[in-house]
Amino acid sequence: MDGKKLSNPFSTGNGGAHFEANIQATFVTLMLSGGYAPCLPLWPIVEIKLQGKVVGYDTDDLIVFVENPVNNERRRLLGQVKNSITITTKSKLFAEVIQAAWDDFNNPDVFVKGKDVIALITGPINTTDADGVNGLLEQARHTRDAKEFITQIERANFCSDNIRNKLEAFTVQLKAANKGNDVTEKERYQFLKHFHLLGYDLAKKGSVVSSLLKSHISQFNKDIPDKIWYQIVIEVQDFNQYAGTITLETLADDLVEYFKKSETSRISPDFAKENVEGDGELGLATDWNHHPTAQKLAVANLIGSWNENNEADIKVVTQIVGDDYTNWIADLRETLQIHDRPLSYKNGLWRFKERLMSWQELGSRLFDDHLDTFKVVALEVLKVDDPSFELPGEERYAAAIHGKVLPHSDNLRKGLVESLALIGNRADSLTRCTQGKANTIAVSLVHKLFEESDWIRWGSLNSMLPTLSEASPDEFLSAVENAISASPSPFDKLFDQEDTGVFGRNYITGLLWALEGIAWEEAYLSRTAVALAEIASHDPGGNWANRPSNSLTNIFLPWMPHTLASVEKRQATLKIICDEQPEVAWKLLESLLPNPHPTTSGTHKPNWRETIPESWEKDVTNIEYWEQSRFCAELIVKQAGSDVTKLASLASNYAHLPSPASKTLRDKLLSEDCLKLSEQERMPLWDALCKLIARHRRFPEAKWSLGNDSLIQIEEVASQLAPKSLNLLSKRLFSDAYFYEVDGSQQEKQKKLFQIRKTAIEDILNEGGISQVLEFASTVSNTRIVGEVLGALDQSDFDADLLPALLDKTDQKIQSLVTAYVSRRQLMGNWQWFDGINKTDWMPKQIALLLCALPFEKNAWDKVEQLLGENEGYYWNNTNANTHKIKDGTEYALRKLLEFDRPIAAINGIYRDLSENRGINPDLACDALLAASVKSEKSFSEIDSYRVVEIIKALQKNAVTDQDKLFHIEWAYVTLFDWDSDGSPVTLENRLASDPSFFCELIQLIYRSEGEESNENPSPQQRNIATNAYNLLSTWKIVPGTQASGEFEPDAFTKWLSSTEKIVKDSGHYYVAMIQLGNVLVNAPEAPDGLWIHPVIAKTMNSKKRSSLREGYSTGIYNSRGFHAIDPEAKPERTLAEKYQQQADQVENAGYQRLATTLRSVVDRYNQKAKQIISERSSLDQNTD
């Protein structure tokens, strides 16, 4: 493969440009908010390069640079973004990723080994790939070297075939990337240590990643985090088209401004000592209006910003200044040496620091001819439509690659638009220009920009629209109104461009923000709101939160309106919207009703118009809030007319309707229009009122609950709307399990409610018999209650109607009804009821199903034996086996459950006996646990881990428990002890410490023999056994030779070790066995003479031939620390280093020099860790400062 080609993200599995843009936007958000990049040191993100292919990277979707604030050292994350990918030997897409990663990995110009990392960044991928690749990469990062890595992967039986398959995929693809030459094991290991798989779930609203990103943003701006995120996405997409580089300097100023922390005032260092004559002089503010370069600065400010690396920008600047660029720019370059220069320059980018201040200071140096030239040039630049729209939507992300980019820089375009806003709003600074000239320029330019404009023009200017609208709001609104009225409207096409992903590109946002900004002014509220309502009527809906309907809601919120318009103006505007766009108005008014939990993300505010006074406060008075809320409520009731759906919606929201709207609604519901509706048609109205009444009756003490007088009024309305049909009238009684409205205790309420339901069923029976009841039951959600009521009626003829015909029906509602009926009949008639049923013609299965519906107790078991005989399996295979109410012994039933292969049900029964102090049969418990352990994986997953461990604990304490069975039980459930701090597999651990053959057996289960090549894959069961063995050895702490009393017996240890070494040498497992034993010897006892380690164990580890034992000991020391908090001063690490240094000195003095060397390697490791912690802490402090 010659290298990665630039390509369409759909063809490469990216799933569309929106995912790539969102990943890039994620890193930009981290950069802006002071977050950190994954897989790299905790240093600030300082630069993000997009489409790095153009500067020599092959892993090129984004290159993230972080920088150490202390010494300016930089590190990189090279990211390849693929929304969807498979990690296999035959995947062409994975081959492309590895080819690019391998090329970069071996290119010292773009990648520094040991410092930089490479990441494949994906959306959600299949579990096999995610688990396999992450497991593989974690093994690489947590093993010492290639040798240990290969041992863990290739020889460990607990290592899944999935991980091995992924290693094979990497191996095959690396060979292909290496021009068909094998990659050495060391090279492969090093590559994998540097390679990361990062999963980002950005495809759903409310995903964890999305929430975290918004949390980052909300630290700086709690009002509009959504809008800021969308602006970041748009900014990134613009950079992506030009394969740009993102830094804090190249991002839009307003975007960076969102993330500025509130400044903390500190005493100036200048006050550290008193100034005396001769110490120097403070720089005085420069009077730029009288500076020699004032004229050039004024014209430069008219341009605003430009990139002198862009030839088209230089041409525009030359046109405006009327001079050769080289001559003209020389003086401006000189101003850069002045301390309070108004201009900034970096990487070819010129821009003014404070445009408005410079405009006010230098505006008097601009004349009519400047404005005339500006008008011609600005129109010429801004009328250039974005060529990326010539590409299909899915290819626009790569517009720069296709050569479909705007000729002028975004900086120049933005600067010109800002200048237009200044011309239209700050003409008072243009004292040398003809009166009215500036306004004419602004109006004319906006008019010509949008004259007969299509969707591409609106889309091309999307990000500029909020500023353009401020230049001339009247003319801009006219342009919007003309576009809405056009057929087809360009906005329809703009909505069509919205991507389907949650954060896909949207070309309507700028328009919405523009209208939100204009709506702050009372003079423009009506026109703006009507325009938004018109646009909302065109909106097909989508995943962006920025929608015209949301803009309207935020503008008119009674508790926080985002407009300076008076209450009267807002009310008049809402009426207009009701007249012109009734459906939009309905949704808007619904969103404006009083609500105890409202939130708002705010709206766009004008930047250049002096619209919002500095003294403005966003709070409203209580009086104003309720005035506006009452108005909205009355208006929405009027708007509902006679529409049943809308009236039902208002009935559900009745509690949110202040008076007099609530009374108006009641009157409407009692009007002839509603009462003349058929019962079925007005059911939604009655049902909504009943639910409302029930909820408020249930919580009378709640703050939101309506008072009794109000509820009585609603009940009167509900009674008039109630159906006469018994089926319709009674349906609610059996559809809402919490429906009751009577007084008394919980038990009394349930009793009264049951009586109400019983009466309803009796009425239905009287009207249509049992068949109508069954028909009625099919329409309600809770048929169990119908069955209970039927059973409570105690009519024997129902038995024949329902039994056995409905017993073996598969319909869930019928099953629920019959089970409840049978249960109630037995409760009332005891077992005599069952005996009294004529079952002569019943099938054995029907008898069994009837018994299954009855209590699980001895009477039932006796009936099974008497009536079913050899067909008893029908019962034992289907009974729920609930032993909760059993007073007699359960052993018979539990053994029956085991007989019919239901060990999990038996375990549940045994646990219940244990928890109720009824005592358990240890043999039965052992048999149940062993039987459950060999069930299928699906069945095994149904086992309650806590219950199993509690039963095992009881067995461990029981002196008569069969120890051999207990051994096998602990082995089967060894992984469960990881979740129980009080439990441990004591039988297994004692066996390990005393039986070398058992230890060796576990080693052989986990690892393949040295040199062995397995020709067959282990079964899932074999893999589970290997995992159990590994878990047991990982937690084993009892040193071989330790007696039951806890005393260490040196001879026993020596004998155990001798036997073990012989077995593992013969089997080819010596290395891995010694590694594992070394881990355990971290728990070695002290010597009788006071040395910190027993001399027999020290001598064993010091043996020249036992280097692998020392390796394991070293790893065991480090792992024994477990989870721990990081001390920023690294005191624990230094303490541990000192401890092991002392131990090394002691054992070396005792003659164990090899053991001492091993301990000193541990010391070095802790010292290195301490330095790393302190360095990272220093970096954090620097960043904070």
One-letter identity of residue 156: A
Per-residue pLDDT, 996: 95
Read off the pLDDT of each residue in 992-1011 and give the average, rounded to a whole number: 89
Residue 671's CB is within 10 A of a number of other CB atoms, namely 12
Residues above pLDDT 70, as percent of the chain: 89
Preceding omega of 488 cis (within 30 degrees of 0)? yes
Spatial neighbors of 354 by CB under 8 A, at least 6 apart, are 342
Spatial neighbors of 70 by CB under 8 A, at least 6 apart, are 1175, 1178, 1179, 1182
- What average pLDDT is seen over the chain? 86
One-letter identity of residue 874: Y
Per-residue pLDDT, 743: 59
Query: What pLDDT digit, counting tens, does each position of 270-314 carry?
Result: 433 444 444 434 457 889 999 999 999 999 999 999 999 999 999
Task: Using the predicted structure, report yes or no on whether residue 650 has a pLDDT greater than 80.
Answer: yes
Query: What pLDDT digit, counting tens, does each position of 796-823 carry?
Result: 889 989 999 899 888 888 999 999 999 9
Between the CA atoms of 939, 945, 951 and 953, what dihedral angle is there, to the nearest 10 degrees?
140
Task: Using the predicted structure, report yes or no on whether residue 206 has a pLDDT greater than 50.
Answer: no
Per-residue pLDDT, 1118: 84
Per-residue pLDDT, 756: 86
Read off the pLDDT of each residue in 114-130 and give the average, rounded to a whole number: 87
Distance CA 330, CA 345 (A): 13
Read off the pLDDT of each residue in 859-884 and give the average, rounded to a whole number: 92
Query: What pLDDT digit, counting tens, does each position of 567-617 carry?
Result: 999 999 999 999 999 999 999 999 999 875 577 778 899 999 988 887 777
Higher pLDDT, 465 or 397: 465
Measured CA to CA in angstroms, residue 108 lies from 101, 103, 175, 331, 987 at distances of 13, 10, 20, 42, 56
Provide the pairing of β-strand 74-82 with 62-67: antiparallel
Cα-Cα-Cα-Cα dihedral sign, residues 436, 438, 444, 446: negative
Q: Can you say how many angstroms the Cα of residue 607 is from the centroid of all Cα atoms in its chain?
A: 34
Query: What pLDDT digit, counting tens, does each position of 774-799 carry?
Result: 988 888 888 999 999 999 998 888 99
Distance CA 296, CA 342 (A): 12
Higher pLDDT, 1021 or 94: 94
Per-residue pLDDT, 270: 46
Per-residue pLDDT, 14: 33
Query: What pLDDT digit, counting tens, does each position of 811-864 carry?
Result: 888 999 999 999 999 999 899 999 999 999 999 999 999 999 999 999 999 999
Distance CA 788, CA 799 (A): 13
Distance CA 23, CA 17 (A): 10
Distance CA 815, CA 983 (A): 42
Task: Provide the token pair at 63.
Answer: 């290159």
Which burial class, exposed, middle or buried, applies to 468 when counting CB atoms under 10 A from its CB (0-12, 13-18, 19+)? buried
Read off the pLDDT of each residue in 691-695 and give the average, rounded to a whole number: 85
Per-residue pLDDT, 1134: 93
DSSP conformation letters of 243-280: T-EE-TTTS-HHHHHHTPPPPPP---GGGGS---TTS-
Read off the pLDDT of each residue in 203-230 and give the average, rounded to a whole number: 69
pTM given for the model = 0.57
3-state secondary structure of 507: coil
Query: What single-letter DSSP state applies at residue 90?
Result: T
R_g of the chain, CA atoms, integer Å:
39
Contacts 24+ apart (CB under 8 A), 1122-1131: 1126/1173, 1127/1173, 1128/1173, 1128/1174, 1128/1177, 1129/1174, 1129/1177, 1130/1169, 1130/1170, 1130/1171, 1130/1173, 1130/1174
Per-residue pLDDT, 502: 35
3-state secondary structure of 970: helix
Task: Provide the token pair at 845.
Answer: 């299965």
- Contact criterion met (CB below 8 Å) for 541 and 498: no
Per-residue pLDDT, 89: 86
Distance CA 460, CA 464 (A): 9
Query: What pLDDT digit, counting tens, does each position of 440-463 carry?
Result: 999 999 999 999 889 999 999 999
